[in-house]
């Protein structure tokens, strides 16, 4: 009893970050690992020997389970990032695990609400969550199936340190009303080799690459997460030294809980072709690439659609259609559409992109424009976004550490 509980407590500290995430950064293994520690704790409770574990052990378990609560989508589906295959974690499997967590933490009313699909407990109120140790971030409009939710990863480790990770810092997935419009490409193969490398590549993700090459560094940091009252937007600022001489700063605004604006800034001494990569949909169906408008839109008949438009700070931009791919099951691949927006960067000259992701019933209808305000600065950024005649002024300041 003494040695077993001591070993388990040591493993909690060594295998998990302080924010509750498993250190290898993979959601699949995170859920699986919880069960090892949860079942031991439950066994102790049922035998009236909860005292065998220190209070810190149970607190660590609480943080682990809250990672799951915040990371799953409102329709009880999973992210498809790293080695997590969303088909493995069906709604029934996720709910079974959530109910196990409630058994261990019956006082957690928010967890109870999620486990019972709102029949009991209290709906969670948090619309943003930052797991800064591991590098996962969530911005959501709410917790019902008809809400919106964006998940981003900006990890503090690279695939060289944690095998399950990929060269994908600052990538994202976007869920709207039961549909994931930008699911991660996945991993396809669990073995080493060309297929696994192809899926792990930076250009296979919704992030910025240089000369279509892989990042040389994954040391992601969050600079800020707050609320901008004037534009009624939650804003998240992430930064990663993606390449030698090139810093990638990605700022995400969730505006009025309606739509998202992503501002990408690439600065430093590196020169070459910047590629802003996008991989929409789980297949080629209902995805239309709009090369002249620098974006895409969807054509789903149920009225749940998305329009995406990207603009620069004046730098010439080229639309490049690419071969996309998607896998949520081992050794199974589906073709999908993909594209990159390329801009030439000279040494010491920054390049800025602004991308608007706007949900609409008819994604061909909204008229969208965006432009930067003021000169580029490390400390302050301003963008005006106009949709169908209404303008939002998005300002972010104090952007440096």
- Over residues 225-265, the pLDDT tens digits come to 999 888 899 999 999 999 999 999 999 999 999 999 999 99
Among positive and negative, which fits the CA dihedral 248, 393, 253, 238? positive
Q: How many CB atoms lie within 10 A of CB 97?
A: 20
- Over residues 4-42, the pLDDT tens digits come to 999 999 999 999 999 999 999 999 999 999 999 999 999
Contact 30, 136 (CB under 8 A): no
Whole-angstrom distance, CA of residue 121 vs CA of residue 325: 40
The one catalytic residue in 29, 57, 175, 267 is 29
Does the pLDDT value for residue 69 go beyond 90? yes
Which residues, including other chains, have CB under 8 Å from residue 188's CB and lie 6 or more apart?
195, 196, 198, 199, 325, 327, 330, 331, 332, 333
Of the candidates 228, 158, 225, 164, the residue with the CA atom closest to the CA atom of residue 27 = 164
Whole-angstrom distance, CA of residue 34 vs CA of residue 375: 48
pLDDT, mean over the chain? 96
Place of tokens 């969807």: 298
Does the pLDDT value for residue 122 go beyond 70? yes
Whole-angstrom distance, CA of residue 172 vs CA of residue 251: 12
Does the pLDDT value for residue 401 go beyond 70? no
Q: For position 90, what pLDDT does the model report?
A: 95
Contact 152, 186 (CB under 8 A): no
Residue 93 pLDDT grade (very low, low, confident, very high; cuts 50, 70, 90): very high
Q: What would the two tokens of residue 80 be?
A: 């498809």
Q: Is residue 29 among the annotated active site residues?
A: yes
Q: What would the two tokens of residue 164 be?
A: 């399950």
């Amino acid at each position: 009893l003494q040695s077993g509980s001591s070993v388990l407590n040591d493993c909690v500290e060594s295998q998990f970050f302080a924010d509750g995430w498993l250190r290898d950064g993979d959601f699949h293994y995170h859920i699986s690992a919880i069960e090892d520690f949860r079942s031991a704790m439950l066994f102790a409770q049922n035998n009236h020997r909860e005292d065998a574990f220190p209070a810190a052990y149970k607190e660590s378990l609480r943080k682990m389970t809250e990672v799951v609560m915040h990371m799953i989508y409102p329709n009880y589906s999973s992210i498809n990032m790293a080695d997590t295959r969303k088909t493995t974690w069906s709604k029934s499997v996720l709910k079974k695990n959530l109910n196990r967590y409630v058994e261990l933490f019956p006082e957690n009313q928010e967890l109870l609400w999620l486990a019972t699909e709102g029949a009991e407990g209290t709906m969670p109120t948090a619309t943003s969550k930052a797991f800064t140790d591991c590098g996962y971030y969530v911005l959501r409009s709410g917790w019902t199936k008809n809400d919106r939710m964006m998940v981003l990863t900006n990890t503090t480790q690279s695939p060289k340190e944690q095998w399950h990770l990929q060269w994908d810092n600052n990538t994202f997935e976007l869920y709207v009303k039961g549909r994931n419009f930008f699911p991660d490409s996945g991993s396809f193969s669990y073995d080493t080799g060309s297929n696994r490398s192809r899926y792990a590549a930076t250009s296979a993700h919704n992030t910025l690459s240089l000369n279509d090459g892989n990042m040389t560094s994954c040391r992601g940091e969050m600079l800020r997460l707050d609320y901008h009252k004037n534009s009624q937007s939650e804003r998240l600022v992430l930064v990663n030294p993606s390449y030698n001489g090139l810093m990638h700063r990605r700022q995400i605004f969730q505006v009025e809980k309606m739509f998202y604006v992503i501002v990408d800034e690439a600065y430093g001494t590196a020169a070459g072709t910047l590629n802003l990569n996008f991989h929409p949909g789980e297949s080629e169906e209902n995805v239309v690439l709009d090369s002249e408008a620098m974006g895409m839109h969807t054509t789903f008949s149920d009225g749940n659609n998305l329009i995406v438009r990207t603009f620069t700070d004046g730098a010439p931009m080229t639309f490049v259609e690419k071969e996309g791919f998607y896998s949520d099951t081992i050794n199974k691949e589906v073709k999908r559409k993909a594209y990159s927006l390329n801009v030439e960067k000279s040494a010491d000259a920054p390049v800025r992109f602004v991308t608007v992701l706007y949900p609409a019933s008819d994604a061909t209808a909204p008229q969208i424009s965006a432009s930067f305000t003021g000169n580029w600065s490390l400390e302050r950024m301003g963008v005006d976004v106009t949709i169908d005649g209404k303008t939002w002024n998005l300002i972010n300041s104090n952007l440096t550490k």
